[in-house]
Amino acid sequence: MTDEHQISAIIATALLDSFGDHPELKVESEEAKIIAKRILGALGDAGLQATVTVPARP
């Protein structure tokens, strides 16, 4: 089973990193978490699912 919290945290971190170089567009941590949950919700509503995979080893 996919850990939704882990996926939300990854998306929230990506959001924070994306706005890191733009202080005038600063996104707070809690706001990034809410946006991440909404992204996951929108994906679910569209019939899509975000999952965590383990990369194949060469």
Q: Tell me the pLDDT band of 2, cut-offs 50, 70 and 90.
A: low
How far apart CA 19 and CA 4 sit, in angstroms, is: 23
- Domain presence at residue 57: no
pTM of the model: 0.77
> Is residue 14 within 8 Å of residue 33, measured between CB atoms?
no
- Domain presence at residue 50: no
- Domain presence at residue 53: no
Q: Tell me the pLDDT band of 45, cut-offs 50, 70 and 90.
A: very high
- Domain presence at residue 31: yes
How far apart CA 31 and CA 25 sit, in angstroms, is: 12
- Domain presence at residue 54: no
How far apart CA 18 and CA 33 sit, in angstroms, is: 14
| pLDDT above 70: percentage of residues in the chain | 97
Task: Give how many domains the chain has, as a whole number.
Answer: 1
Mean pLDDT throughout 14-30?
Answer: 88
- Domain presence at residue 10: yes
Domain interval for residue 19: 4-45
